[in-house]
Structure 1
Amino acid sequence: MKIVEASFLTSAQSINDSPSPDMAEVAFLGRSNVGKSSLLNTLTNRKGLAKSSSTPGKTQLINYFDIKFKTKSEELPYLFARFVDLPGFGYAKVSKGLKKDWNKNLTGYLEQRPCLQVFVHLLDARHPHLEIDKNVDEFLEVIKRGDQKIIHAFTKIDKLKQNDLAKLKRAYPEGIFISNLKKRGMIDLQNAITEHLFGNQIF
């Protein structure tokens, strides 16, 4: 199975103006500047799909993308899902009022979106133990429904020494280890997503 089409659908400020929850969704979340936009572009093989900003924290909208997967089945040649690019969290330079609304909209989406099936929590491989990421993990574990899955994807592994990467893999045996630069880990990430979304329908 592979992604054959990826297209921008819409942006929303909150769950209230989000598209109809008629399709399984995969939410990508992480600290500002963790490489989320680059990962989405590499994963979907679309260079300009997710817009990255030179100013961390600038993106404050929930961005929705329609994703089309090609299977090897003649009976069910295509499967569909929606990727959701969430605003980066933990950026200190936005105003307190904006940050409050921003966090409220993020948690509202994460807690209340009925079609949300997968959380992809992106972590910088060089800083895997930050307090803010621990807090996010604890929050996701509390709100996670039985039909949802949390995937930990460690970005920027090309910046690690091999022994440090080996330690990280031992510490997180179920983690997925990503290098946008070298396109490493993308198949692993896609497989983890599609196995949960489609189960035995993977061909």
Structure 2
Amino acid sequence: MQDSKFLRSATGISNAPEVAHTEIALLGRSNVGKSSLINSLLASNLAKKSNTPGKTRHINFYTTRWSLKDESDVRLDYNLNLLDLPGFGYAKVSKSEKEGWDKSLDNFLRKRSSIKLFCHLVDSRHPSLEQDLIIKRYLESLIRGDQKILTIYTKVDKLTKSDFLKLRRKLKEDEAFISNVKKDSILLESLCKKILSLALSLPSLSHPLNIE
């Protein structure tokens, strides 16, 4: 990561910033650890954390610049936008207001073709909740040919060793995991490589990328 900054907030497609770069959208249930992950990816504290479920009510845009090195040690620079989507569920609002959000968000996601990767965050302690299955099915019905989905299991530091090993053994190619412990830089770097490889359609997920 070379640089990152908050760009703006939007309520939908009508007031979203113009498309300038490839975009990565992060979404999941409320309090799944989305703000923590965004701050780790941005190497900053730009995303504000909250103990209030459903606090994020807008689409927050962050612009980032990455400097990578390929196998031949050639430096490649990429500009990407990270999109922090509103948390699903738990927000203390009226039914009509929630339905309005859902419709506006759905319209945005269907029209924002610059989103090349959807990162679906799932609490590793509760991997099969109905709400996550609904989000998964929704994303699968949403994506077009050049878009991808990456399921990211969060808070693996809270798993028992046995449960963590079980999760790691069953991990699929379109899945990854992350710890909420900041010192776990190896997991973070591995996740960064996977996210960038998918979003930028780089040759192979296993191809080493040196993130400067």
| TM-score for the superposition, normalised by structure 2 | 0.87
Distance 1:166 1:10 in 2: 39
| 1:15 and 2:17 matched | no
Which letter maps to 1:113? R
| 1:161 and 2:160 matched | yes
Residue from 57, 60, 65 that aligns with 2:62: 65
Hey, what does 1:120 align to over in structure 2?
119
Which letter maps to 2:63? D
Contact in 2 for aligned 1:57/1:94 (Cα 8 Å): no
Greater shift, 158-167 or 125-134, is seen at: 158-167
Alignment CA distance shift 1:190-1:8 (3 Å): same
| 1:101 and 2:103 matched | no
Superposed CA offset, 1:36-82 (max 9, x none): 00111012211x21111221112100000001001237976421110
SS in 1 for 2:66: strand
In structure 2, runs of 5+ residues without a counterpart are none
Which letter maps to 2:154? T
Greater shift, 133-142 or 99-108, is seen at: 99-108
Q: Among all aligned residue pairs of Structure 1 and Structure 2, give the percentage whose two residues are the same amino acid.
A: 44
CA RMSD of aligned residues (A): 2.0
Which letter maps to 1:139? Y
1:39-188 matches, cutoff 5 A? 39-46=37-44, 48-72=45-69, 77-91=76-90, 93-174=92-173, 175-184=175-184, 185-188=187-190
Distance 1:195 1:132 in 2: 28
Query: Aligned pairs, how many?
Result: 200
Tell me which stretches of 4 or more aligned residues in structure 1 moved more than 6 Å.
none
| TM-score for the superposition, normalised by structure 1 | 0.91
Which letter maps to 2:138? F
SS in 2 for 1:71: strand
Distance 1:172 1:93 in 2: 34
Hey, what does 1:197 align to over in structure 2?
199
Contact in 1 for aligned 2:24/2:81 (Cα 8 Å): yes
Which letter maps to 1:12? A
SS in 1 for 2:53: coil
Which letter maps to 1:62? I
Distance apart, 1:182 and its partner CA:
4.1
SS in 1 for 2:150: strand
Contact in 2 for aligned 1:7/1:65 (Cα 8 Å): yes
Alignment CA distance shift 1:127-1:183 (3 Å): farther
